[in-house]
Amino acid sequence: MPHPCLTCGACCAFFRVSFHWSEADAALGGQVPFEFTEPLRTHERAMRGTSQSHPRCIALDARIGEYSRCTIHDRRPSVCALVPASHEFGVASAQCDKARIAHGLPVLTPDDWVGVAEAERNPLPCQA
């Protein structure tokens, strides 16, 4: 059974993704591709596409509810790794539920994780 986030993508097309500017500064060890970001506030940048009234992250390759992948998953902003998928580790996530509902998807339940190998679950709660 695939990880539920691989058929979702709702969080990446619902929330603004903002983070400290240094995460996109390679000279300071930042890993987020600078060209995928835009200025937000004095000390913040945002992923392009997420500050609009209908957000969609520039790094999202998805058809919401069918397939989803982050094209920079290994270099994504730290805040992306902090959005937990509901029940991935036994607890509901208001953020995950809100994004899924906004896209007409049912919220995840513990049953959605049956058959998902432990090795496929994210070591830190995040969207895939």
Whether the predicted pLDDT of 127 surpasses 60: no
Contact 17, 77 (CB under 8 A): yes
Average pLDDT value over all residues in the chain: 91
Q: What's this model's pTM, rounded to 2 decimal places? A: 0.87
CB count within 10 Å of CB 21 equals: 18
Report pLDDT digits (tens) over 33-69: 999 999 999 999 999 999 999 999 999 999 999 999 9
Whether the predicted pLDDT of 70 surpasses 70: yes
Q: Which residues make beta-bridge pairs with 70?
A: 60
Whether the predicted pLDDT of 1 surpasses 70: yes
Whether the predicted pLDDT of 12 surpasses 90: yes
Q: Which residues make beta-bridge pairs with 88?
A: none
Q: Give the strands of the sheet with 18-20, arranged side by side.
A: 18-20, 44-47, 37-41
